[in-house]
Structure 1
């Protein structure tokens, strides 16, 4: 992937200011340049200067280093800050290989003592990691940044395992008045700057999904560097988690690759695709080398798959119920469209006598029946009285 964690993509071609055709004698100095250094600042670029240069010349570069040869290249215009595709400068390489004399030459020629490679390692990181005490002393004396933070959040003293070298670095930090608070501030300074920039972009109405170099977005950068606060802020403002860079990497790929488990969890919680594929058909799990992060991704994937399976099951059951209810309903005679339901109900109620009307009607009927019965009884009594009268009235 061409995009690196710090968000500063490195160019692959190495600019070279020396005109070797005009200075053919420089070609003869190649075998005297240290192998690692030559790979860092020359490589195929020198081969282009003279087609007659034998391919076996690079095999000869393992000859003992010659500060004279390097001095000649520098005096003839070689840029001391050239870097390869990994961002390594000549100064980085010499600090790895413990070439103090060449380090001095490079610094005198203007080499950047705090140059960062693609993972934000400075020459002091390299020298401290390798335990090269004399180079650590030289770099610190020349002003190397003791608080430089690489892409993993480590300073030079974090990476030093050699006791004597570590003791020197810590003493130098104390002499410069560096405290634990200073260290923590330095670790978070880059992310704070990014957070401030995001707030400014939001205020200015800038699209946070605008592709940068290699089509990486701000969310790619935050994810690659493990900037949790910046990632949260971007997601709050609808940053696109599905955006892909030139290699087809989504932000989740970047977080997984550089082992930032908290950012991985954050992105997945917001719906990032655990099965997203890159141009090379790689998922976030495929590009992750950190065992802890791999375990977390697998755990999240299992939970995601279980939830999806349960969701699909409920969805299927709901569809069957809906289909069944629809088929039963089709056999029921549809209601009349003459009235709306409430109107039909009112109309039906109006056609029926109320309970009170029924009671009144029954009461009237009962009264009439009583009157008729009384008339009949009265008539019978009159008849009886007449009949009795013939016998003599009682």
Structure 2
């Protein structure tokens, strides 16, 4: 997994668009085949009486949308921010699979909305943007998710532009996303797949990396 993700760092903008989408696909595959048995989750010190944790990991329960098992884990003291090997926290997984109920549950129980997975530094918000889950995006932002969080592949707005999620791009900008975050000479506008996305970013003052460089930014 580490070697695969290492191949997804910046190159040209056209390659980066492909790699951004490939990254989401790889994470999905990892979740489907490998998040059940190699978890590095810790258990919070239990109070006087607490239910026993279920046999399957909290990450696997989230992946399958099993709300009741997730609740049992949390009741048994499983760390809501437990990190699974290669898959981040339970909130990353809930954002990826689109489980509104579990996202809300985890946040209520103290999940870190700005946690970054170790390989690419993606936050749950970036993952949700890549998948286009507007309700989850709104929920994360309402609970303090950083709209300008930077991963190796860019900010949430880079992902929205790269995937052509125009409504989400508009939402992010409305919530304070920087339209000209210039990461490795690549702005959200550089990532725009179509004219509609580009026009939206231009409307809000978006420029390409080359344009920013030309004016000394």
TM-score range, shorter chain: 0.5 to 0.7
Tell me which stretches of 4 or more aligned residues in structure 1 moved more than 3 Å. 1-5, 14-29, 178-182
Aligned position for 1:167: 199
Structure with the greater relative contact order (CA < 8 A, sep ≥ 6): 1 or 2?
A: 2
| 2:149 matches 1:115 | yes
- Identify which of 78, 94, 97 aligns with 2:131: 97
Structure 1 residue 106 corresponds to structure 2 residue 140: yes
TM-score scaled by length of structure 1: 0.33
Confirm or deny: 8 A CA contact 1:96 1:127 kept in the other structure. Answer: yes
Residues 42 and 82, structure 2, Cα contact 8 Å, conserved in 1: no
Which ranges of structure 2 fall in alignment gaps of 5 or more residues? 11-38, 67-80, 88-92
Q: State the alpha-carbon separation in 2 of the partners of residues 16 and 173 from structure 1.
A: 43
CA distance in 2, matches of 1:173, 1:140: 11
SS at match of 1:143: coil
TM-score w.r.t. structure 2 length? 0.57
| 1:54-111, Cα deviation, whole Å (9 max, x unpaired) | xxxx9xx8x9632111110011111011111211111111111111111111111111
* Max Rg structure: 1
State the partner residue of 1:219.
Answer: none
Among 146, 152, 157, the residue aligned to 1:124: 157
Distance 2:208 2:188 in 1: 15
Deviations 1:197-249 (A, max 9, x none): xxxxxxxxxxxxxxxxxxxxxxxxxxxxxxxxxxxxxxxxxxxxxxxxxxxxx
Post-superposition CA distance 1:27-70 (Å, at most 9, x none): 4951228xxxxxxx86626x9xxxxxxxxxx9xx8x96321111
Higher helix proportion (structure 1 or 2):
1
CA distance 1:19–1:74, change in 2 (3 Å): farther
Distance 1:145 1:17, change over 3 A: farther
Aligned length: 155
Q: Paired residue for 1:70, among 103, 111, 117?
A: 103
Say what the alpha-carbon RMSD is for the aligned residues. 4.3
Q: Where do 5+ consecutive residues of structure 1 fail to align? A: 6-13, 34-40, 48-57, 190-394
Q: Which residue does the alignment assign to 2:213?
A: 184
After superposition, residues 21-36 of structure 1 pair within 5 angstroms as: 27=58, 30=62, 31-32=64-65
Aligned counterparts of 1:136 and 1:126: Cα–Cα separation in 2: 9
